[in-house]
Amino acid sequence: MSRYSWYGLPSAAGASSNTPARPPRGLSPAVAWLLSVTCGLAVANVYYSQPLLDLIARDYGIDPAAIGLVGTLTQTGYALGLLLIVPLGDHLDRRALTTAQLGLSVLALLAVAVAPSAPLLLAAMAAVGVLAVVAQVVVAHSASLAAPGDQGRVVGTVTSGIVVGILLARTVAGTIGDLAGWRAVYLASAVATGAMACAVAAALPPERRRPAGRIGYPRLVGSVFTLFAEERVLRVRAVLALLTFTSVTVLLTPMVLPLAAPPFELSHTEIGLFGLAGAAGALGAGHAGRQADRGRAERTAGLGLVAMLAAWLPAALLPHSVWWLVLAVVVIDYGLQSVHVVNQHLLYQVRPEARSRLTAGYMLLYSVGCGAGAIASTLVYDHGGWSAVCLLGAATSLAALVYWLTAQRS
């Protein structure tokens, strides 16, 4: 089977010069899942360091108070990549851009694994963050390759990989780190990323789409902000992303503090298992995509927002049992993914020539939400404990629901 027939295009053997070319049938489930795994591996690279910070600090003799710079530089690199690399997907062949980023990611991951000094490690970590935005290039590409009426399912499938990658990165890194050291985590990721680069290059044909006209790089990047002024759907969906990802980060960031303290006193490995609970919520991505394809996008988003608000009730019951928090993580992540997939589905219905830039703008506010939630939740926990965190999270989720209702009526 040729790569073109796997992708959904008629193979050369079955084509005839007297027979009109059939339209592409879209992205096959096998390739959609391949892209999903690719996205999960790419995004996981940003989060591997979190459970490894104490090992890294000890290896390089870095002050524990300063080791957080590793995560900060990686996240900063990711934000820069959203603005500086993702828009190129509207200007270049996305298949070539994807494979190039994956190949460079292999080099960056190897640089992290063998870095002989702290400054070189930090530089390599920043490069890993910049290149991890290949996941957003892939999401936009998958939407372009999907057949009409199947875009929601495809985007949901690919997005579920990102969710699982984020949630399981800490568990995988902690396990490998305990068994073989922190450098082994990045060596393993380099091998896996290289394999994905080869698989993607073989599975996808070069794009037949060509950007309309020529546009300089500075103008291309600047147009990300222009799109906010021109497209109401981007403004609405990006604000929803900011609020919903703030809410989820408010739950996930400080929960290690009460779980590690009495009466639970869970180990870091046990706390990392909460990622498995959140991964169950990734099922919401696929369901939301199918509902969006059936014309129920806004209804699905509304139900997701209600679920996110409702999740804070079991979260507030954590002092009574850790299982309430497990339930809260599953429910809030299910709701988040429902909203996230619908947001992307609706974005991709407008301006097909600007899908990558729409993705970049949307994800920039997503990043702001994650950062705001992390900072606010730790400050609130320090002053008011877990109950105050739950009040903050519930207020943010309520704000997202009210904003969505207001947007529907305007």
pLDDT exceeds 50 at position 98: yes
Tokens standing for 202? Answer: 């073989």
Indicate the DSSP class of residue 354: G
Residue 157 has a pLDDT of 85
Say yes or no to pLDDT of 20 above 60: no
Q: Average pLDDT in the 167-192 region?
A: 89
Model confidence at 131, in pLDDT bands (50, 70, 90)? very high
Asked whether the predicted pLDDT for residue 10 surpasses 70, the reply is no
Checking if the pLDDT of 24 tops 70, the result is: no
Residues of the chain with CATH 1.20.1250.20: 1-10+23-207, 215-410
Residue 159 or residue 277, greater confidence: 159
Confidence class for position 210, pLDDT limits 50, 70, 90: low
Residue 145 has, within 13 A of its CA and on its CB side, a CA count of 28
Handedness of CA 194, 197, 199, 202 (dihedral sign): negative
Residue 126 pLDDT greater than 60, yes or no: yes
Mean pLDDT of 50-75: 78
Most confident among 233-242, 329-338, 371-380 (mean pLDDT):
233-242
Determine the residue type at 6: W
Tokens at 144, concatenated: 């372009």
pLDDT of residue 179: 86
At the topology level, CATH places domain 215-410 in Growth Hormone; Chain: A; (1.20.1250)
Residues 63-84: pLDDT tens digits? Answer: 766 766 787 788 888 889 999 9
What whole-number distance in Å separates Cα of residue 254 and Cα of residue 261? Answer: 12
pLDDT reading at 6 higher than 60: no
Mean pLDDT of 146-159: 84
Average of per-residue pLDDT values in the chain:
85
Domain at 1-10+23-207, CATH homologous superfamily = MFS general substrate transporter like domains (1.20.1250.20)
Residue showing tokens 């609970």: 277
Write out pLDDT tens, residues 356-382. Answer: 899 999 999 988 888 788 888 888 988
Closest by Cα among 19, 16, 352 to 207: 352
pLDDT of 12 strictly over 70? no
When pLDDT is averaged across residues 254-274 and rounded to a whole number, the result is 80
Residue 190, H or E segment: helix 182-203
pLDDT exceeding 90 applies to what percent of the chain? 45
Residue 153 has pLDDT above 50, yes or no: yes
Of 206, 268, 247, the residue nearest 52 (C-alpha): 268
Nearest to 328, CA basis, from 319, 339, 341, 315:
315
Question: Which structure tokens are listed for 263?
Answer: 């009466």
What pLDDT shows up at residue 281? 67
Question: In this model, does residue 328 exceed pLDDT 80?
Answer: yes
End-to-end CA distance of the chain: 51
Angle (CA) 354 357 359, round 5°: 110
pLDDT at residue 16, rounded to an integer: 37
Segment 288-306, tens digit of pLDDT: 878 888 888 999 999 999 9
Least confident of 31-35, 66-70, 115-119: 66-70
Among 94, 138, 201, 147, which residue's Cα sits nearest to residue 344?
138
* Closest by Cα among 177, 331, 186 to 269: 177
Contact 142, 8 (CB under 8 A): no
- Does the pLDDT at position 195 exceed 60? yes
Average pLDDT over residues 107-115: 96
